[in-house]
Amino acid sequence: MQSSKILVQNTEVSIKQHDKVDFISLTDIARAKNPDEPKDVVKNWLRSRTTIEFLGLWEHINNPSFKGVEFDTFKNEAGLNSFTMSPTKWIEKTSAIGIISKAGRYGGTYAHRDIAFEFASWISAEFKLFLIKEFQRLKEDEIQNKSLEWDLSRSLSKINYKIHTDAIKEHLIPHAIDKPKENFVYASEADLLNVALFGVTAKEWRETNKDKDGNVRDYASVEQLIVLSNLESINAELIKQELPQNERLVRLNQTAITQIKSLFSNPSVKKLSGK
C-alpha cells in the first residue's frame, strides 16, 4: 500500500492506500490520547455501543458481505462490563472492510477515513478538526502535484512531437508538394505511431469509440504518453536513416512493447499514475 504522513497537533499520523482508498492509522490517532498504550485506546473505543452501531451502519452501507447476525450479537452485548472487542475480532467475526489490522513492526490498525474521523472525534473534537484540515491539505497537494506531473508529461510529448514533425518535413515531404498531400504524410506518420503503440489508426479508434470525444491519444495512460514521447524521438531518427515505413513500424512496435512492460513495473511511474 502507498503511504504518506501528516502532522496533527504534534502527532504524526500515517495514511495508506488500500484498493485506491485512503485508510488512516487509528493507532497513530490513539497516541494523541495515550502515547504508551495506543492499542488499549482503540479497544476501549470499540467497547462502546455507539461505536459498534456506527461501524455496523458503515459496513451495511459499504460492504455487501458484512455479517449482520454476528453484528447483532455484538450490538446487544456492547456497553456491558464483560464486553471486549479488538480490531482483529471485529474484522474476523463480521467480515468488516472498514478497518484493517496487521501485526508486526510495520503493522497497526487503519480505518477508512469516515471511521478514522469518527474515532478522532472520540479522542477530541479539536483533534478531529485538525485531522480533517491536514488530511484535506494532503489531498490538495497530491492533486496539484499530479496535475504538474501530468502537464510535464504532456509538454514532453509536445516537444518530441515537434522534433518528429520536423524530421518528417525534412526527409519525407518533397519540396513544392501541395498542402493536402503534405497533411496526408503527417497523418500517415501519426498513425504509424498510433498503430505501433495502440494497435489502431486514429480512424479505427473513432469508429469503435463513437461515444467518446477527442482521439485515442486523449485517453492514453501516463505510461502510454511516456512511450509515445519516446517513439516520436526514435521515429525521427529512423526517418533520418531513410528506413521504409513498414520497417519503422516493426521497430517502433517492438520498442513500445518493451517500454510499456518496463514502465508498468516501475514504482515511480505507478506513483505518477496513481496506481
Same domain flag for 200 and 93 = no
- The answer to whether residue 170 is domain-embedded is yes
pLDDT at position 66 is: 95
Evaluate the CA torsion angle 43, 48, 50, 53 in order and state its sign. positive
Question: Which pTM does this prediction carry?
Answer: 0.53
**Which residue segment(s) compose the domain that 116 sits in?**
3-123
Q: Give the DSSP H/E element, type plus range, for residue 273.
A: helix 267-273
Q: Which residues pair with 25 in a beta bridge?
A: 110
Q: Is the pLDDT of residue 250 over 90?
A: no
- The answer to whether residue 137 is domain-embedded is no
pLDDT tens column, 59-96: 999 999 999 999 999 999 998 989 999 999 999 999 99
Of 123, 151, 180, the one marking the end of a domain is 123
- The answer to whether residue 130 is domain-embedded is no
- The answer to whether residue 223 is domain-embedded is yes
Contact 39, 27 (CB under 8 A): yes
Same domain flag for 110 and 37 = yes
Same domain flag for 116 and 7 = yes
Rg (CA), the chain: 27
Number of domains in the chain: 2
Torsion of CA 232, 235, 239, 242, to 10 degrees: 180
Q: Is 108 exposed, middle or buried (0-12, 13-18, 19+ CB in 10 A)?
A: buried
